[in-house]
């Protein structure tokens, strides 16, 4: 039996490179030879929470790789063959609940790790063969895996942008309704906010405004936002946010505000203040704190539509792969760093400023 290596997240916020036996797929499973896996902003939360709640785990859910083996029953369901380069979604939906049957499988309880569900990058090594994450040389493929074939010629490290970019398309266009002539304001210039910039540009928005903090890290990301197609940026602290946006929009404010910030609940309040009457607000950044003294009357007075946003749809991932394959709006420039498997902890810490500088989207190459 052959063996391979994987980066295992342990309680206490550490990563350990461990050796695993390569499993022989059953009729209902398969095996993926991982080419690369993106480092999602949510992986820092998983790094802190999953080992404590679910035991040691292989993290990583933005996985791209080659199908190595396919079981006989799995082959009938998947529509992929050995050798195909594919991008995986993190969701492992049941396939039969109301949400799955209506195509909104991201809301299926079977995918929710908080409810004990299975999900790539958020399931412990004590479940099944334990090979649930992409920070590994090989990953086992569950029968309910959601696949996307990578367009011919697209390098894996760029294909790994598919999930963050699909969130941007989902939040900005499919759910946010961005379109020609509109002003779109995006709070937070992280990889998610930058993905929304690309989606807003693709949707034909007339004005795209990105806000960030007045610090060197955000300054470079705000510059990246302009490179990707933003028309205006606002550094909070250097400029008064409401006054700056009012000046840019001639007092009209934004048709669509997307809150991708994760620093605290204050951006929820500002999102509502920045939306024009009859505007839309998308709340996507997890705060992990309650909003104090929330004035819901603002929503009524401004006739706003406020929507909580979670993840992506199958359609948005397909659209993202097409957009990345064409490198529209310089989207591939979001891929800034690649690390080896032994640098997984360093990459995770880079998400919170404790590692590499100037990161936007990182990948882990397990064969590097």
Cβ contact 335:191 at 8 Å: no
pLDDT at 30: 97
Q: How far is CA 18 from CA 8, 38, 314, in A?
A: 7, 20, 33
pLDDT of residue 157: 97
Q: Please say whether the beta carbons of 34 and 22 come within 8 A.
A: no
Which DSSP letter does residue 182 get? -
288 pLDDT more than 80: no
Q: Where residue 1 falls among pLDDT bands split at 50, 70, 90?
A: low
Q: What is the pLDDT of residues 313-328, one digit of tens each?
A: 999 999 999 999 999 9
Asked if residues 11 and 52 have their Cβ atoms less than 8 Å apart, the reply is yes
CA 208 – CA 340 distance, rounded (Å): 35
Same fold, 3-160+327-365 and 164-308: no
CATH of 164-308, one of 3.40.50.720, 3.40.120.10, 2.102.10.10, 3.50.50.60: 3.40.50.720
Residues contacting residue 143 through CB under 8 Å, at least 6 positions apart: 28, 29, 73, 74, 77
Q: If DSSP codes are grouped into helix, strand and coil, which group holds residue 206? A: coil
* Token pair of 10 as six digits: 């342990």
pLDDT the model gives residue 144: 97
The DSSP H or E segment spanning 48 is helix 43-54
Name 254's Cβ contacts closer than 8 Å, sequence gap at least 6. 183, 184, 185, 209, 245, 274, 275, 276, 279
Note the CATH number of domain 3-160+327-365.
3.90.180.10
Task: Specify the pLDDT at position 102.
Answer: 94
- 3-state SS of the chain: helix, strand, coil percent to 5? 35, 25, 40
Asked whether the beta carbons of 50 and 59 are under 8 A apart, the reply is yes
Cα–Cα distance for residue pair 303/275, rounded to 1 Å: 10
* Gyration radius from the chain CA atoms: 20
Give which of 57, 56, 60, 8 is closest to 32, Cα–Cα. Answer: 60
| Token representation of residue 134 | 């992409």
The model's pLDDT over 328-359, given as tens digits with 9 standing for 90+, comes to: 999 999 999 999 999 999 999 999 999 999 99
Domain ranges of the chain: 3-160+327-365, 164-308
Strand partners, 283: 259, 308
Q: What pLDDT sits at residue 266?
A: 86
Alpha-carbon gap, residue 304 to 278, rounded angstroms: 5
pLDDT digits (tens, 9 = 90+) for 9-47: 999 999 999 999 999 889 999 999 999 999 999 999 999
Q: What is the mean pLDDT of the chain?
A: 95
pLDDT at position 204: 98
pLDDT at 295: 86
Asked if residue 328 lies in contact with residue 199, where contact means CB atoms within 8 angstroms, the answer is no
Kindly report, residue by residue over 2-19, the tens digit of the pLDDT. Answer: 999 999 999 999 999 999
Q: How far is CA 156 from the centre of its chain?
A: 16
């Amino acid at each position: 039996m052959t063996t391979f290596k994987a980066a295992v997240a342990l309680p206490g916020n550490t990563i350990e490179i461990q050796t695993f036996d390569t499993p022989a797929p059953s009729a209902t499973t398969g095996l993926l030879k991982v080419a690369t896996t993106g480092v999602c902003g949510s992986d820092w939360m998983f790094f802190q929470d999953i080992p404590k709640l679910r035991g040691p785990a292989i993290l990583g859910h933005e996985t791209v790789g080659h199908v190595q083996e396919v079981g006989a029953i799995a082959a009938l369901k998947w529509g992929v063959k050995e050798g195909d380069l594919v991008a995986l979604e993190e969701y492992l939906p049941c396939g039969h609940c109301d949400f799955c049957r209506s195509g909104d499988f991201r809301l299926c309880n079977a995918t929710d790790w908080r409810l004990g569900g299975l999900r790539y990058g958020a399931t412990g090594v004590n479940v099944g063969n334990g090979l649930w994450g992409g920070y590994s040389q090989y990953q086992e493929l569950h029968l309910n895996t959601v696949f996307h074939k990578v367009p011919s010629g697209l390098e894996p490290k760029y294909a790994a942008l598919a999930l963050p970019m699909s969130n941007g398309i989902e939040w900005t266009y499919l759910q946010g309704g961005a379109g020609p002539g509109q002003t779109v304001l995006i709070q937070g210039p992280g990889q998610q906010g930058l993905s929304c910039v690309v989606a807003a540009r693709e949707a034909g928005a007339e004005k795209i405004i990105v806000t960030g903090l007045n610090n060197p890290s955000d300054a470079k990301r705000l510059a990246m936002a302009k490179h990707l197609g933003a028309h205006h940026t606002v550094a909070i602290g250097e400029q008064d946010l409401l006054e700056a946006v009012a000046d840019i929009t001639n007092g009209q404010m934004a048709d669509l505000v997307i809150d991708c910030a994760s620093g605290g609940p204050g951006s929820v309040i500002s999102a509502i203040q920045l939306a024009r009457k009859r505007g839309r607000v998308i709340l996507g950044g997890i705060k992990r704190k309650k909003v104090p003294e929330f004035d819901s009357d603002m929503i009524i007075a401004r006739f706003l539509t406020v929507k909580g946003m979670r993840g992506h749809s199958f359609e948005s991932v397909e659209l993202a792969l097409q957009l990345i394959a064409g490198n529209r709006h310089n989207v591939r420039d979001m891929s800034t760093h690649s690390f080896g498997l032994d640098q997984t902890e360093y990459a995770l810490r880079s998400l919170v400023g404790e590692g590499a500088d100037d990161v936007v989207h990182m990948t882990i190459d397990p064969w590097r």
